Chain A
């Protein structure tokens, strides 16, 4: 695996608020890298720092082992991006928007190439229409066409599904997968929804209040073998005793208050039948993916959260 992007101790302070604090992460070539965090967690600030829209207060960003501050626009030349909304020149046509940004990306796009891109975006028949007449989805598709016109190696999509209808969201997911699988692009995609990241990303980072919570392989982080199951019974002490004697003893995770087992999701049916065989009066079985659980706790309770440990 080829290291594309290495971010070290990145911080950004706006006046009194720390938007991002000591954030470090790496993106490998070919990754679909998920950026997960609530609104205001610092996702956008971080992505904008990657794109040189915001100057970091501290820290370094290396692109193929070269500091992007020293290596002027090498990274930008190979990057396509949509930051938040795909805002374009409303008073210009789709064609003109694409042509202008192609030129600004430093490539000479012929009419044929531009029309091809518009075709791919499904906008070929509207190429002369002004962007202000476009729907959100059309703008989004045009924005992506613009992000891709100069054939970047890296595509950064900040909250690409914001404001899209379900069909649009589905299209976006497919597009990200196609970018990665068919076109071999490295993609960084941010979202505040875990399930969006889960279906497209291979690696991910969760940030909260500008700090890294966890970074890693999505498969590992969301490993079904790593499901935490909480059991409520009619008699917890009895149930715990019986479980300690059973083959499930190794899966028990005792925290004193609840009965919890860490096990593979697939084993839950088998556990359920064991419980019934052992005459344990089950009130509830609550399978919780640990990461999801954790992320939910962030969303529900904004006051204080312990760092996640896997």
Chain B
């Protein structure tokens, strides 16, 4: 198993397309960092009339933690595309190249082959996230320093500013990245499933991205009947769930409770649904791959 995984990772590492995602992430992160370094004006938009009532030391607001939150907020929505780029190619890419039939004449069960490919896709996803963490979090911490994290959000149509003290931030990022890895694994499983049916890699990649886009739109429709029926079952409703780790609970006097989360139950529920999706998608991928006649 391990040596198969090594082979799979080696193959991924030798493909130029693998690095597109890393370059894209580096590009976006560096641009956002440079922009904020040059002009922190965005903060004035965020703080708006807070300025009238309060004196806020803005220099401290834009810090490494805040930058990471900003970057994840804009970037994590796009990462599914990058994950699909590799996971959607896993089977179909080999079919397209003609290596699938050679691969499958080796004395290795198909479950193992697709399992290893899925594992390799997950490792790739985690590598993307680690890379992102290095740039968006640690590089930002170096460039912008560290301080408390302000989270701006809207809840029940009312806006809030949550302040998380800096000694309470790191574990939230760790949890958020783990959560993101699980959410993106759903995308990897979906792309892998679609990859089983195709004989070129463009199809599953485009199809995955389309499904993600369509489901995301449905997830954000805010039509009551959809909210009640479809939405809770769409994995895209949970892709931004990592933010839940930053929604700190607060007491009756609006003082945040250190180390707390406002709604762990909902995050747990999200995780459950994400895992269920992973199970269904990957299970289906194994099922169909085992049955597939290799004609490529």
Contacts and interface: CB of A to CB of B under 8 A. Distances in A.
A214 interface: no
A105 interface: yes
Contact of B293 (A53, A77, A92, A106): A53
Name the residue among A81, A89, A91, A106 with the largest chain B CB count within 10 angstroms. A89
Dominant SS at the A interface? loop
Contacts of A73: 107-109
A105 B106 contact: yes
Interface string B10-23: 11001110000000
The 7 closest A-B pairs by CB, nearest first: A87-B98, A73-B107, A53-B294, A77-B107, A76-B107, A104-B106, A54-B293
Contacts of B108: 73, 104
12 contacts: A48-B294, A53-B105, A74-B107, A82-B102, A84-B101, A85-B98, A90-B97, A91-B14, A100-B7, A104-B106, A105-B106, A105-B107
Given A77-B107, A81-B105, A91-B16, 7 more contacts: A51-B104, A76-B107, A82-B102, A87-B97, A96-B14, A100-B7, A106-B107
Contacts of A55: 291, 293
Nearest to A44: B295
Contacts of A51: 101, 104-105
B99 A87 contact: yes
Name the residue among A53, A91, A101, A105 with the largest chain B CB count within 10 angstroms. A53
Contacts, number: 77
A10 interface: no
A103 interface: yes
B229 interface: no
Given A48-B294, A100-B7, A89 B99 contact: yes
A84 B102 CA distance: 10
B200 to A, nearest CB: 14
A121 interface: no
A72 B294 CA distance: 18
B68 to A, nearest CB: 34
B11 A52 contact: no
A83 B95 CA distance: 13
Given A54-B293, A92-B14, A104 B97 contact: no
B34 interface: no
A83 B99 contact: no
B106 A76 contact: yes
B4 to A, nearest CB: 7
B103 interface: yes
A89 B293 contact: no
B3 A83 contact: no
Interface of B: 3-4, 7, 10-11, 14-16, 97-99, 101-109, 291, 293-295
A106 B107 CA distance: 7
B99 A88 contact: yes
Contact of A87 (B3, B7, B102, B105): B102
Contact of B102 (A14, A52, A101): A101
B113 to A, nearest CB: 9
**Chain A residues touching B, range:** 20 to 34
A117 interface: no
A146 interface: yes
Given A52-B104, A53-B104, A72-B109, A104 B7 contact: yes
Contacts of B293: 14, 48, 53-55
B14 A79 contact: no
Nearest to A51: B105
B78 to A, nearest CB: 26
Nearest to A143: B102
A104 B99 contact: no
Given A53-B294, A54-B294, A76-B106, A48 B101 contact: yes
A82 B295 CA distance: 14
A88 B103 CA distance: 10
Interface string A50-68: 0111110000000000000
B101 A53 contact: yes
B83 to A, nearest CB: 21
Contacts of B4: 103-104
B248 to A, nearest CB: 48
Interface in A146-195: 146
A240 B98 CA distance: 59
Contacts of B109: 72-73
Contacts of B14: 89, 91-92, 96
A203 to B, nearest CB: 23
Contact of A88 (B16, B102, B295): B102
B294 A91 contact: no
A100 B6 CA distance: 10
Contacts of A14: 293
Nearest to A83: B101
A100 B105 CA distance: 13
Name the residue among A85, A104, A146 with the largest chain B CB count within 10 angstroms. A104
A250 to B, nearest CB: 52
B112 to A, nearest CB: 10
